[in-house]
Amino acid sequence: MLNERTKAKLVEVVGSANFQDSSEARLVYSYDATPNFQSLPDAVIMPENKEQVKRILTICNEDHVPIVPRGSGTNLSAGTCPTQGGIVLTFNRMNKILEIDEENLTATVQPGVITLDLINAVEAKGLFYPPDPSSMKISTIGGNISECSGGLRGLKYGVTKDYVLGLEVVLANGDCIKTGGKLAKDVAGYDLTNLFVGSEGTLGVVTEAILKLIPIPETKQTLLALFEDMDAAAKTVSAIIAHKIIPATLEFLDQPTCEVVEDFAQVGLPTDVNAVLLIEQDGPPEVVSRDIEMISRICSEGNAVSVKVAASQAEAEALSTARRSALSALARMKPTTILEDATVPRSKISEMVKAINEIAVTYNVKICTFGHAGDGNLHPTCLTDARDKEELHRVEQAFEAIFHKAFELGGTITGEHGVGEMKAPYLALKMGGEGVAAMKAIKYALDPQGIMNPGKIFAKDTRKRVVVRS
């Protein structure tokens, strides 16, 4: 618990209305969207500006109180679950779009801006902010930056880090630094901007961000290709890329995923084939038409049983919205839904999908797979029941096997969700001991007291990944 002295100092900074430590407030900030993680913070604090954030961090640093920055709590790696107690710092009062600079093609925002609100605001000016995580209606830009979120457009446009030009960050000791800026070219010294993007709130608190915008693509077309055979679909993905076409979106859903998504969204997704590819291309009309035609042909040659181009923008929109609901829709099937984020080089998609299915059989667990096939970012999702301890153990083993396989194929343990606490035990697999040591050195240099989102990214000694806490 916080001692009264610390509490009084924090209340003085934000006022009593913006400091909550009732059991209700503590409970509702005890979780994010990660299954099986829950832990009560000591309090929740809602600052209004950078000055307040600076003072809050100074107090927490002096009094050794953990700080967990949190956007809308949609993340899937337990990155915003306050597992070590302390204070949850929310950005609901720092949610303004400060500027859309049409001359420099940048947007300057506060961290609490909802992703979709930003996307809509810039599109109204004919500009484009590509990162579009499935949770974009809810997630905040600050959260996207901290987790380095991806999305459906990642294949062609990359992830959040490719669009962050500059940051204002408050460090653990209360110092405020500015990194990068509106410049297209800026190489002075270490790339601190990229260091903070994806740092999951373990190095500092982002209080402002300058984001890169690009011109909005002129047109977009959506195509749906159905396959009897999952392997054929996966091979088609590789074939499309091998033909030197980079679609804006190249999504993959297996049969059970289609079934539950269709049950929720009712958009006419087929439920009787084993794999579906949802492909989008955007750009100048002639390029889009040419690419879509070529993609259709490649799909047909790859044994697709049906290839259909969406008739209207509304139909296309409905399909991608439905796809965004895949994870939550899968939760209809079993009480607990554990989603993973294993990523492999694009050329290895088919091999990885096959391996996932074999691993599911080996450990006798139910795994549905969907994901961003085009960028090798798969979301094998396990449907289980956290109350069944025996099954949960097999789920853990299966995921461990999946991570090893991904790594063996030259892949990684997360493509867009962050490491958080959920995947901390596997960081060494990807980075090696020396890599982890280098990361820890940076962490220690910037946060010697260890107050910034402790327990995240770096593992403790246990290797168990599914932990239930109360």
Partner 1 sequence: MTTTKDIQQAFKERLDYDELMNCMRCGFCLPSCPTYGQTNQYEAASPRGRIALMKGVVDGLIEPDESVEKQLNLCLGCRACEPVCPSGVKYGHLLEEARDIIQQKKRHKWPVKALRHMVFEQLFPHKERLKNVHSLLAFYQRSGLQKAVQKTNILNVLPGNLAQMEKTLPPVLTKKEMKKRPFLFEAEGTRERTVAFFTGCLMDTMFMETNNATIALLQKAGCKVVIPEVQTCCGALHAHGGEKDQAKKLAKQNIMAFESIQADDIVLNAGGCGALLVEYDHLLKEEPEWKERAAAFSAKVKDFSEILLQQQFVEKQKLSLPSQIITYQDSCHLRNVMKTSSAPRKLIQAINGTVFNEMENADHCCGSAGIYNLTEQEMSMQILDYKMEKVKETHAHTIVTANPGCLIQMKLGVVREGVEESVRAVHLADLLLEAAESK
CA neighbours within 13 Å on the CB side: how many for 208? 22
Kindly state the smallest distance separating residue 406's Cβ from partner 1, in Å. 24
- Does residue 337 interact with partner 1 by CB under 8 A? yes
- Does residue 437 interact with partner 1 by CB under 8 A? no
What is d(CA 413, CA 420) in angstroms, rounded to the nearest whole number? Answer: 11
Kindly state the smallest distance separating residue 449's Cβ from partner 1, in Å. 27
- Does residue 35 interact with partner 1 by CB under 8 A? yes
Name the segment binding partner 1 (CB under 8 A); options: 29-37, 151-159, 171-179, 406-414.
29-37
- Does residue 331 interact with partner 1 by CB under 8 A? yes
Query: Which CB, 61 or 207, lies closer to partner 1?
Result: 207
Kindly state the smallest distance separating residue 311's Cβ from partner 1, in Å. 20
Pairing relation of β-strands 67-70 and 87-90? parallel
Query: Which CB, 25 or 309, lies closer to partner 1?
Result: 25
- Does residue 447 interact with partner 1 by CB under 8 A? no
Site map (CB under 8 A) of partner 1, residues 252-271, x = contact: ---------x--xx------
- Does residue 137 interact with partner 1 by CB under 8 A? yes
Kindly state the smallest distance separating residue 328's Cβ from partner 1, in Å. 3
What is d(CA 268, CA 315) in angstroms, rounded to the nearest whole number? Answer: 10
Binders of partner 1 in range 340-399 (CB under 8 A): 385-386
Query: Which CB, 31 or 163, lies closer to partner 1?
Result: 31
Residue from 332, 393, 440, 464 binding partner 1 (CB under 8 A):
332
- Does residue 329 interact with partner 1 by CB under 8 A? yes
3-state secondary structure the chain: CCCHHHHHHHHHHHCHHHEECCHHHHHHCCCCCCCCCCCCCCEEECCCCHHHHHHHHHHHHHHCCCEEEECCCCCCCCCCCCCCCCEEEECCCCCCEEEEECCCCEEEECCCCEHHHHHHHHHCCCEECCCCCCCCCCCEHHHHHHHCCCCCCHHHHCCHHHHEEEEEEEECCCCEEEEECCCCCCCCCCCHHHHHCCCCCCCEEEEEEEEECEECCCEEEEEEEEECCHHHHHHHHHHHHHCCCCCCEEEEEEHHHHHHHHHHHCCCCCCCCCEEEEEEEEECHHHHHHHHHHHHHHHHHCCEEEEEECCCHHHHHHHHHHHHCHHHHHCCCCCEEEECCCECCHHHHHHHHHHHHHHHHHCCCEEEEEEEHHHCEEEEEEEECCCCHHHHHHHHHHHHHHHHHHHHCCCECCCCCCCCCCCHHHHHHHHHHHHHHHHHHHHHHHCCCCCECCCCCCCCCCCCCCCCCC
Site map (CB under 8 A) of partner 1, residues 85-104, x = contact: -----x-xx-x---------
What is d(CA 375, CA 385) in angstroms, rounded to the nearest whole number? Answer: 30
- Does residue 295 interact with partner 1 by CB under 8 A? no
- Does residue 73 interact with partner 1 by CB under 8 A? yes
Name the segment binding partner 1 (CB under 8 A); options: 151-159, 284-292, 335-343, 451-459.
335-343
Query: Which CB, 316 or 326, lies closer to partner 1?
Result: 326
- Does residue 470 interact with partner 1 by CB under 8 A? yes
Name the segment binding partner 1 (CB under 8 A); options: 125-133, 234-242, 333-341, 368-376.
333-341
- Does residue 30 interact with partner 1 by CB under 8 A? yes
- The CA distances from residue 262 to 31, 153, 323, 370, in Å, are 28, 22, 9, 14
- Does residue 25 interact with partner 1 by CB under 8 A? yes
Maximum separation of any 2 CA atoms in the chain, in Å? 71
Residue from 104, 271, 289, 325 binding partner 1 (CB under 8 A):
325
Residue from 13, 40, 356, 367 binding partner 1 (CB under 8 A):
40
Kindly state the smallest distance separating residue 99's Cβ from partner 1, in Å. 22
Query: How many residues lie near partner 1 (CB under 8 A)?
Result: 41
- Does residue 28 interact with partner 1 by CB under 8 A? yes
Residue from 8, 27, 183, 242 binding partner 1 (CB under 8 A):
27
Residue from 336, 377, 414, 453 binding partner 1 (CB under 8 A):
336
List residues near partner 1 by CB under 8 A: 22-25, 27-33, 35, 38, 40, 72-74, 90, 92-93, 95, 114, 135, 137-138, 261, 264-265, 325-329, 331-332, 335-337, 385-386, 470
